[in-house]
Amino acid sequence: MKIVHYPHPALRHVAKPLTAIDAEVRRYARQMLDLMYAAKGLGLAAPQVALPYQLLVLNYTGDPTRKEDECVAINPVLVEKKGGTQDGQEGCLSFPDLYQNVKRAKTVVVRAYDLEGQLFEVTASDLAARLWQHEIDHLHGILYIDKMGLLGKRAAKPFLEEFEARYRKAQQRGEIPSDD
C-alpha cells in the first residue's frame, strides 16, 4: 500500500460503501494510519491508497501517541453543516507541498461506523471539521483543488502541471501503469 499522488485516476473514483468489516478492512485501516503518520498527515482516505472503499482515517493532532484522537470511519455520511463557514489553509497527502485556502463549513455532524461495526456520530468544529469535509470529499472523488477560490486555483496551477509531468515520467519509466 502506498499513497498515490495527483493525477492518479483513483483520486477521482467514487468509493463504494463497505458491506462487511473483516480482518482485511482492519488491516487496511491500520496500514492507512501508519502511512498517514509517516507522511505527517492528519487524515487519509482509501482512494488515496487506490482502494475503492468508503473508508478513512484521521487524527487531527497528527500525533501517533494520541490514540484517543485517532478515528477510523467506515461509510461516513456528512449529516449536517452548521455555524457558517471558515476559510483556512489546507493541504493533502496526494498533493505534496500544495497549501491553499479552502472555504469549509465551521461545524459538521458526521455519522459513520467504526471497526467494531458500531454506528457513531461526531460533531466537529474548526480544524477537525475541515478534516472531515476534506476526507469525506475524497470518497466522492472530490479534491480540494476543486474547492479553492479563483486565486488559489491560479496559484495551484504550476504545482498541478509539475505533478502531471512527474506522473507521466513515472509512467514512462514503468513505475505507474499506462492510462490504457
Active site residue ranges: 135
Using DSSP, state whether 48 is helix, strand or coil: helix
Residue number, 112 or 130, with CB nearest to Zn ion: 130
Buried b (16+ CB within 10 A) or exposed e, 51-81: bebbbbbbbbeeeeeeeeebbbbbbbebeee
Question: Which residue matches cell numbers 482515517?
Answer: 57
Q: Which of 25/134 has CB closer to Zn ion?
A: 134
Contact at 8 Å (CB) between 73 and 46? no
Q: Binding of Zn ion at residue 35 (CB under 5 A)?
A: no
67 three-class SS: helix
What are 54's three cell numbers?
468508503
For Zn ion, give the closer residue by CB, 36 or 92: 92
Q: How many residues of this chain interact with Zn ion, rule: CB under 5 A? A: 1
In angstroms, what is the minimal distance from the CB of 163 to Zn ion?
13
Nearest-approach distance from CB 93 to Zn ion, in angstroms: 6
The minimum distance between CB 178 and Zn ion, in angstroms, equals: 25
Using CA atoms, how far residue 29 sits from 49, 152, 154, 171, in Å, is 11, 32, 35, 28
CB nearest Zn ion: which residue?
92
**Residue of 4, 36, 51, 92 that binds Zn ion (CB under 5 A):** 92
Least Å distance, CB 132 to Zn ion, is 12
**Please, which residue, 142 or 176, has the CB nearer to Zn ion?**
142
Find, among 83, 80, 63, 178, the residue nearest to 133 by Cα. Answer: 80
Q: Binding residues for Zn ion, per CB under 5 A?
A: 92
